[in-house]
Amino acid sequence: MLHSFDILCKILFMFTTLVGHTKCNPPLNTEESVTQLGYPLEKYKLQTLDKFTLGLERIPYGKHGDRTIGKPILLMHGLFLSSFVFSNTNKSLSYSLSEAGYDVWLFNARGTGLSRTYSIYSKAGTAPRMNKMSWDFSFHEMGVYDFPAVVDFVLNKTGRAKLDVVGYSLGATIALVGLSEKPSYNSKIDKLVLMAPTTRMISYGFPVSAFYRGSLLFKYTMKEQSFFPAAQDPDAAHRYLRWLCTYRILYPFCLLYIDTAQGSRLNYKRDMVISTITDFPQPVSKKMLFHWVQLMSSKRFCKYDYGTNGNMQYYNMKSPPDYNLSKVTTPVYILHSKNDHLSAIKDVNWLRSKLPNVKDVYFINSIKFGHLSFVMHDNIDRLVNNKIKNALSTNAFN
């Protein structure tokens, strides 16, 4: 039975064939992007304590210099994204850090990027099976299982005692959940950079507000689905969407798609928009989206609500407990922006007040800078990459 996203992709394929686009390139992924730009790449597979398979990409050193492997740093992507968001252009953060001497590790949460590839394909050339893996998880499981598993794996592989972490959007959420629920891991993180962090959702704007208002309808339509968007072959879906966006007459709709996703209209370059759509949106579990709705309705940063009976079983209390952010003792550096409607100023300031060891905050308000700008802006090197490298090396964004 075809899913709605698969049907859309087939329609797009027929359309592009009709207008004469008969030859298409395969969609880029992290591996292809890294190797095409001339950087070394290693791939690793590991398993979490709850038996989920994760995939990691690694850029051990830059393409310039003496190939010395430096301090490890873990980059953690946002919602509906994968590690590709840190490596899709030559200005991406992974390359900037690599050339600065870091050993860059790229995280893929369960169900996304290389982790999804390892989980749904039996072997090369076979059809994907999205139901081959369980989708019964939210960002809580990613924080409690994925984050510690990856941190331990990187430290064991490199022989280091500590690593740095950059968490973008959902990646910041995962890191905060992991460090609050497993406080012993604070001793394994040297510095934690939170980029457009999402925790308590009280001051959100569009499109989050629209999603929240339509959450009852969304829950109804998702009754028979375990993940969203519902596509049995996400890789083919991304390929078809990318084809569509290469047509100048249709490109404005692709830009509108990106603008709608972040809730603000910005003039991103065409190549960057097409590159982002190559990998966006990654499948997200229904439970994950329901958890976000719960945060919006409760105005708290708390664990998943299983209902009164379920909460008594899981937490021995009628309502889900808050995450104890006072346990995040790692030195924290926060980047956020004025025009970010997903990581709003009021919510970031609340997060800042709850964390006991915030060292510096960098607020972008001089230009229009949205949620996706942190990984898509043309001046990302100056506005983001250099600031992060400063924080890591000098303990301040400067």
List, by residue number, the catalytic residues: 169, 340, 371
Rounded Cα gap, residues 54 and 115, in angstroms: 4
Rounded Cα gap, residues 185 and 201, in angstroms: 26
Span between the terminal Cα atoms of the chain, in Å: 55
Nearest in space to 147 (alpha carbons), one of 108, 94, 187: 108
Element of type H or E holding 57: strand 53-59
Q: From residue 93, give the alpha-carbon distance in Å to each of 61, 133, 226, 380, 382.
A: 13, 30, 32, 8, 11
Q: How many CA atoms lie within 13 A of 21 on its CB side?
A: 16
Rounded Cα gap, residues 288 and 51, in angstroms: 18
Element of type H or E holding 166: strand 163-168
User: Which residues neighbour 131 within 8 Å (Cβ) at sequence distance 6 or greater?
Assistant: 226
Element of type H or E holding 388: helix 386-394
Cβ-based neighbour number of residue 253 at 10 Å? 11
Rounded Cα gap, residues 204 and 295, in angstroms: 11
Question: Residue 44: is it exposed, middle or buried by C-beta count within 10 angstroms (0-12/13-18/19+)?
Answer: middle
Question: Could you write out the DSSP letters of every residue in 241-278?
Answer: HHHHHTSTTTHHHHHHHHHHHHTS-----HHHHHHHHT
Rounded Cα gap, residues 98 and 103, in angstroms: 6
Task: Indicate the SS3 state at residue 144.
Answer: helix
Q: Are 162 and 188 in contact (CB under 8 A)?
A: yes
State which amino acid sits at residue 187.
S
| Structure letter (DSSP) for residue 138 | -
Residues facing 72 on adjacent strands = 103
